[in-house]
Amino acid sequence: MKLRILPLALIAVLSASLLPHVAEAAPAKTKRYTVTMKKAHLPAAPKNGTDDYRCFLLDPKVTEDSIIRSIQFIPQRKNYVHHAIIFRVTDADLEEAIAADKNGTGWPCFGGSGLGGMLSTFISSPWLSSWAPGRGKDVSPAGYGTPFKKNERFVLQVHYNLLAANGGKVETDQSKIVMDTVPAKGSTVKQLHVELFPAPVELACPAGVTGPLCDRKKSLIDLAARTSTTSAFESAGINALCGQDPFKPVASLTSQCDKVINSNFTVIAAAPHMHLLGRSLSIILNPGKPTEKLLLDVKNYNFDDQSATVLKTPVKVVAGDTIRVKCTFDPTLRQKIPQLKSLAPRYITWGEGSSDEMCLGVIAATPQ
């Protein structure tokens, strides 16, 4: 179980790039790279599930050490692409990625890129950017950017939500990435990275709703079958990280988790991520203390708008501070939302599928 828990602790402090959507004129020396999935992929969910997580190795053929000024994932099938994550592949994982990709067919990757050991994947192949409905081009604020070396490659993880296929018809997808860069040589931009703050999800079936999967243990077994064999451990791991009993958690419509920070950084922007049952999400610095500050307050969460909010004034965070993520959910929506109401009732936990849930606060920061 620890092999699955540790990456969740690590990704909260690993370098990546969540580039807020901010309009800014491109520098004169900007160079554009466009790369498309080598082969069209026909999504198919494992074991009668409704979600396909697929990773693809893409080579933008970058000709010089660069700084990313903007990056954009452009889905071909917007109706059932649930989200996408762009990872930078370093030399540590490149050989494995080439073998797994099989010249463009890609590989299944529920959780992360699937590369490297479970203790190293988010270090050797960190995030560059993410996309979800409502997000367009990620443009760095003035003075910020993300390094990208000559000849480095992407791993593109695409989550296909087959529940959203129009009329149930699934077609092949061949999405692409467009990236604008400036030369790294002589650049003075500050490096952005991502900090992730997960909280457990434990939603019992609503009053009057019954079924075999309303039993938490049976629901976790089904989760593992639909996604990956370690998904149940991930749910338990987040509970453990947040101070709850991983095996006998208390179901609640509210979820929160406090993390004590062990480094110094300045928050530039923040974004929410939940699935279809999410109602609100907030990120709070030093809750209950005189130094308390609200970094993000999404009162009416909209899955179709997960764009980042740029802080009016950047906020400094120092080692020893606490950041809390807090979410609320409405599991009765499962019986109302067209994508979900035809599914069997279930006890809902943290999970990779569109019919599962997440509580994840995301901030873009620069080291002090």
27: tokens are 């520098």
Which residues neighbour 206 within 8 Å (Cβ) at sequence distance 6 or greater? Answer: 331, 332, 335
Question: Which is more confidently placed, 115 or 329?
Answer: 329
Q: Distance of CA 121 to CAs 90, 102, 301, Å?
A: 10, 20, 30
pLDDT higher at 120 or 69: 69
How big is the chain by its Cα radius of gyration, in Å? 20
Whether residue 198 contacts residue 362, with contact meaning beta carbons closer than 8 Å, is answered with no
Tokens representing 130 are 């993410």
Q: What is the pTM of this model?
A: 0.74
* pLDDT level of residue 125 (50, 70, 90 thresholds): low
Domain boundaries, the chain: 19-189, 193-367
Same fold, 19-189 and 193-367: yes
Confidence of residue 20 (pLDDT cuts 50, 70, 90): very low
Instruction: Name every residue whose Cβ is closer than 8 Å to that of residue 359 and which is 6 or more positions away in sequence.
Output: 198, 199, 200, 201, 255, 257, 274, 278, 281, 325, 327, 350
Q: How far apart are CA 326 and CA 360, in angstroms?
A: 9
19-189: which CATH topology? Jelly Rolls (2.60.120)
Assigned architecture for domain 193-367: Sandwich (2.60)
- Tens digits of per-residue pLDDT, 296-348? 999 999 987 887 888 999 999 999 999 999 999 999 999 999 888 889 999 99
Mean pLDDT throughout 152-176? 90
Helix axes 216-226, 231-241, angle to 10 degrees: 120
